[in-house]
């Protein structure tokens, strides 16, 4: 990722490969940033002319390459930020994408008058634009963008910059892992990735193999893993930034490295997208790296149950009854509802760590994509304090989630005569009944479940890195409050 520098000396008179200037828009007017106004004097009034001629409106995503005039920057790009914070985020993303398309190595950005949340997003937009897919390895490779110089805003500290760069690097790590094909990104690969991350950071990693998983009686994880020649792993990542006695926040990520559906096999169209069924796990990797890199004064533990869901002569079958680590029995009525099974064992493990809060992240239900589409993640759980903090964190960083109800009546849909609980609850409210199933395996008073089936990757089959920004913001807010 690029290096970010907060500069207190004037940006306009410095040198870079590209100077980024901004304009916002109201219904009727184009609003130039103070820096853009200042720059236009040295740009022979090009900006004023563009606006007067009606060729630039300041809308989000709009941009214009200008002649450099009397400035010593190699290029000058004027970018529109529209008239809302959401518009501005999209505008920043578009501006940096335009830069990386031209192989720009050093960008100078006039962010001094932007609110802190947008300065943070500038860091994330630059980092995200720089990302390029490459196959294999535990880290994203460096792109062409090497340096971003930001005109230091008054209310923006180097500590805020540190948190923003850590979050942005986390997003790219998550995207990198998420986009790996299923034959590369196996449970064993994710285990190695945890070891590699521990080596690179202050995190501690523990990777349990099949034998150790059996010892913990994780019958639900083992049942899903049974059909695959790729053995499962149970990964624990620890950040000890708080006092030894402080109860940890626990993050649990679904790590199904490929979901065929198992014996209840999925239809062929778009089945390739089920390589993304480990995006919850990838999110935990990204957030744990961010937490370590930003040295957050908190204890955070990441837990990843990971396996592959395959049809096979040894695979778990519809109607099979299995026993989870908690001792509860589950009737597996559909082997494609496998995410909740592996999470059941992981949530039970999380409870044993006596956490202050547990947050699980999972590409759990197709129904969530139908309910909420691709723009907001589904949020369910118990503990209003946690749920409202997560909602606020998501809104603050443009990575929103939306709470769905989880009343008692939905729980009845999971009733069966053959076990304590069935793993599916019928056609209606599929996202909610999946969360109801999870609730049976978590006893933490502050427990949240994020269903990221619609938000973790795009219809263009690219990973988004969501909800790393949401979770990093939630944790950094928590860290700031504890000090
Ligand atoms: N990984 C899928 C959920 C999913 C599907 C995410 C499509 C994103 C896009 C999950 O394991 C699954 O298969 N869920 C089933 C549950 C059903 C059998 C109750 C589903 O959503 O169809
Ligand atoms: Mn499935
Ligand atoms: Zn799945």
* Ligand 1 pocket check for 337: Cβ under 6 Å: yes
- Asked if 123 and 164 touch (Cβ cutoff 8 Å), the reply is yes
**Cα-Cα-Cα-Cα dihedral sign, residues 395, 124, 178, 198:** negative
Token duo for residue 111? 């962010």
Residue 120 pLDDT > 70 = yes
Catalytic residue check, 75:
no
Output the residue whose Cα is nearest ligand 1's atom 5: 366
425 lines ligand 1 (CB under 6 A): no
Is ligand 1 within 6 A of the CB of residue 338?
yes
CA of 363 to the centre of ligand 3 (A): 6
Q: How many CB atoms lie within 10 A of CB 369?
A: 16
Q: Cα separation of 396 and 120, whole Å?
A: 11
What is the biggest distance separating any 2 CA atoms in the chain, rounded to whole angstroms? 80
**Among 260, 266, 366, 374, which residue has the most ligand 1 atoms within 8 Å of its CB, making it the best to mutate?**
366
In angstroms, rounded to a whole number, what is the distance separating the alpha carbons of residues 239 and 428?
A: 39
Tokens of 252: 């649990």
**Contact indicator for 76, 21 with CB cutoff of 8 Å:** yes
The CA 357 to ligand 2 mean position distance, Å, reads 26
- Determine the atom of ligand 1 nearest the C-alpha atom of 261: 13
Measured distance CA(377)–CA(372) in Å, rounded: 7
Q: What is the CA radius of gyration of the chain?
A: 24
3-state SS, the chain, equals: CCEEEEECCCCCCCCCCEEEEEEEECCCCEEECHHHHHHHHHCCCHHHHHHHCCCCCCCCCCEEEECCCCCCCCCEEEEECCCCHHHHHHHHHHHHHHHHHCCCCEEEECCCCCCHHHHHHHHHHHHHHHCCCCCCCCCCCCCCCCEEEEECCCCCCHHHHHHHHHHHHHHHHHHHHHHCCCCCCCHHHHHHHHHHHHHHCCCEEEEECHHHHHHCCCHHHHHHHCCCCCCCEEEEEEEECCCCCCCCEEEEECEEEEECCCCCCCCCCCHHHHHHHHHHHHHHHHHHHHHHHCCCCCEEEEEEEEEEECCCCCCCCCCEEEECCCCCEEEECCCCCCHHHHHHHHHHHHHCCCCCEEEEEECCCHHHHHHHCCCCEEEEEECHHHHHHHHHHHHHHCCCEEECCCCHHHHHHHCCCCCCEECCCCCCCHHHHHHHHHHCCCCCCCEEEEECCCCCECCCCCECCCCHHHHHHHHHHHHHHHC
pLDDT reading at 204 higher than 80:
yes
Of the CA atoms within 13 Å of residue 76, those in its CB half-sphere come to 25
* Ligand 1 pocket member 265 (CB < 6 A): no
C-beta neighbour count of 384 within 10 angstroms: 10
Confidence check: pLDDT of 483 > 90:
no
The 10s digit of each residue's pLDDT in 122-164 is 999 999 999 999 999 999 998 999 999 999 999 899 999 999 9
Edge-first strand listing for the sheet containing 421-422 = 320-323, 329-332, 421-422
Cβ of 381 below 6 Å from ligand 1? no
Annotation marks residue 266 as catalytic: yes
Is pLDDT of 48 > 90?
yes
Spatial separation of the C-alpha atoms in residues 375 and 389, rounded to whole Å: 19
Residue 453 CA to ligand 1 centre (angstroms): 8
- Rounded to the nearest angstrom, the distance between the alpha carbon of 261 and the centre of ligand 2 is 5
For residue 481, the model assigns a pLDDT of 87
Q: Band of the pLDDT at 103, cuts 50, 70, 90?
A: confident
Is the pLDDT at 55 greater than 80? The verdict is yes
Mean pLDDT of the chain: 97
The tens digit of pLDDT for each residue in 286-300 reads: 999 999 999 999 999
Model confidence pLDDT, tens digit, residues 401-433: 999 999 999 999 999 999 999 999 999 999 999
Q: Which residue, by CA, sits nearest to atom 8 of ligand 1?
A: 453
Q: Tens digit of pLDDT for each residue in 13-33? A: 999 999 999 999 998 999 999
Residue 155 pLDDT:
87
What residues are paired with 204 via a beta bridge? 238
How many whole angstroms separate alpha carbon 449 and alpha carbon 361? 6
Decide if pLDDT at 65 tops 80. yes
Dist. CA 142 → ligand 2 center (Å): 34
Predicted pLDDT at 158:
94
Q: What is the pLDDT of residues 224-255, one digit of tens each?
A: 999 999 999 999 999 999 999 999 999 999 99
With CA atoms as reference, report the closest residue to 472 among 361, 372, 347.
361
The reported pLDDT for the residue numbered 482 is 77
């Amino acid at each position: 990722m690029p290096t970010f520098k907060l500069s207190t000396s004037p940006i306009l008179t410095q040198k870079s490969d590209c100077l980024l200037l901004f304009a916002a828009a109201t219904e009727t007017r184009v609003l130039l940033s103070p820096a853009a106004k200042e720059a236009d004097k040295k740009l022979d009034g090009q900006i004023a002319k563009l606006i007067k001629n009606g060729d630039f409106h300041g809308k989000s995503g709009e941009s214009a390459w200008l002649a450099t005039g009397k400035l010593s920057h190699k290029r000058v790009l004027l970018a529109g930020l529209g008239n809302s914070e959401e518009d501005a985020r999209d505008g920043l993303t578009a501006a940096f994408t335009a830069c990386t398309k031209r192989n720009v190595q050093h960008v100078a950005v006039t962010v001094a008058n932007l609110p802190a949340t947008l300065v943070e997003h500038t860091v994330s937009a630059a980092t995200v634009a720089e990302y390029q897919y490459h196959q294999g390895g535990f880290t994203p490779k460096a792109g062409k963008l090497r340096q971003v110089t930001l005109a230091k805003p008054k209310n923006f500290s180097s500590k805020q910059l540190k948190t923003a760069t850590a979050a942005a690097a986390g997003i790219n790590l998550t995207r990198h892992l998420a986009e790996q094909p299923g034959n590369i990104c196996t449970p064993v690969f994710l285990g190695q990735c945890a070891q590699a991350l521990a080596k690179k950071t202050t995190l501690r990693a523990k990777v349990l193999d099949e034998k150790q998983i059996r010892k913990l009686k994780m019958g639900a994880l083992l049942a899903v893993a049974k059909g695959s020649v790729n053995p499962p792993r149970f990964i624990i990542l620890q950040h000890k930034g708080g006092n030894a006695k402080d109860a940890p926040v626990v993050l649990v990520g679904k790590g199904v490295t490929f979901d065929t559906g198992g014996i209840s096999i999925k239809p062929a169209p778009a089945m390739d997208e089920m390589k993304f069924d480990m995006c919850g796990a990838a999110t935990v990797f990204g957030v744990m790296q961010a937490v370590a890199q930003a040295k957050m004064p908190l204890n955070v533990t990441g837990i990843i149950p990971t396996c592959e869901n395959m049809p096979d002569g040894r695979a778990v079958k519809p109607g099979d009854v299995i026993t989870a680590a908690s001792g509860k029995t589950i009737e597996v009525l559909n082997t494609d509802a496998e995410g909740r099974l592996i999470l059941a064992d992981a949530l039970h493990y999380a409870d044993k760590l006596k956490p202050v809060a547990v947050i699980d992240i999972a590409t759990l239900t197709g129904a969530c994509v139908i309910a909420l589409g691709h723009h907001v993640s589904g949020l369910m759980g118990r503990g209003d304090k946690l749920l409202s903090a997560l909602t606020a964190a998501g809104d603050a960083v443009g990575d929103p989630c939306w709470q769905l109800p989880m009343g008692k009546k939905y729980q009845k849909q999971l009733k069966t005569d053959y076990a304590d609980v069935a793993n599916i609850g019928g056609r209606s409210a599929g996202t909610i009944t999946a969360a109801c199933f999870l609730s049976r395996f978590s006893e933490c008073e502050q427990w949240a479940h994020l269903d990221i089936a619609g938000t973790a990757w795009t219809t263009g089959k690219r990973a988004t890195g969501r909800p790393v920004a949401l979770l990093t913001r939630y944790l950094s807010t928590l860290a700031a409050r504890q000090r």
